[in-house]
A = this chain, B = another copy of it.
Amino acid sequence: MLALFGNLFDTALGDVHQEHVACLVEGRNVKIERIVSFGQKSPPGFWYDQPWAEWVVVLAGSAGLRFEGEADVKVLSEGDYILIPARVKHRVEWTDKDHATIWLAVHYPETE
């Protein structure tokens, strides 16, 4: 069920041993997700390889994103957003272990 309203900063989510993903909007050409991480990261060797573009922001906490072929991990702190084009492989190297990391992600087809 999609909630029509709510609060992105509400972290009374219970189990911190798993990432919480909530779909806030799901349309034909857009999906808005809120993700809350508690130190979780992508498994070894795993890369996201998505058919849609993803605009993503870290609203609380922090995270390290790695893009395929890049040596440096991009650190996202509170408020930092980035646009990940479709098919650009990336992975989450780390998320904050001491605080909840709240992500907001908007997925959409890459059309002009």
Q: How far is the CB of A38 from chain B (nearest CB, A)?
A: 18
Contacts of A111 in B (CB 8 A): 27-29
Q: Are A29 and B32 in contact (CB under 8 A)?
A: no
Q: Does A108 contact B (CB under 8 A)?
A: yes
Q: Does A16 contact B (CB under 8 A)?
A: no
Q: How far is the CB of A27 from chain B (nearest CB, A)?
A: 6
Q: Are B30 and A30 in contact (CB under 8 A)?
A: yes
Q: How far is the CB of A105 from chain B (nearest CB, A)?
A: 11
Q: How far is the CB of A47 from chain B (nearest CB, A)?
A: 20
Q: Does A73 contact B (CB under 8 A)?
A: no
Number of interface residues, chain A, beta carbon within 8 A: 32
6 contacts between A and B (CB under 8 A): A4-B83, A7-B80, A8-B59, A9-B79, A24-B81, A108-B108
Q: Are B112 and A5 in contact (CB under 8 A)?
A: no
Q: How far is the CB of A65 from chain B (nearest CB, A)?
A: 10
Q: Are A8 and B109 in contact (CB under 8 A)?
A: no
Q: Does A78 contact B (CB under 8 A)?
A: yes
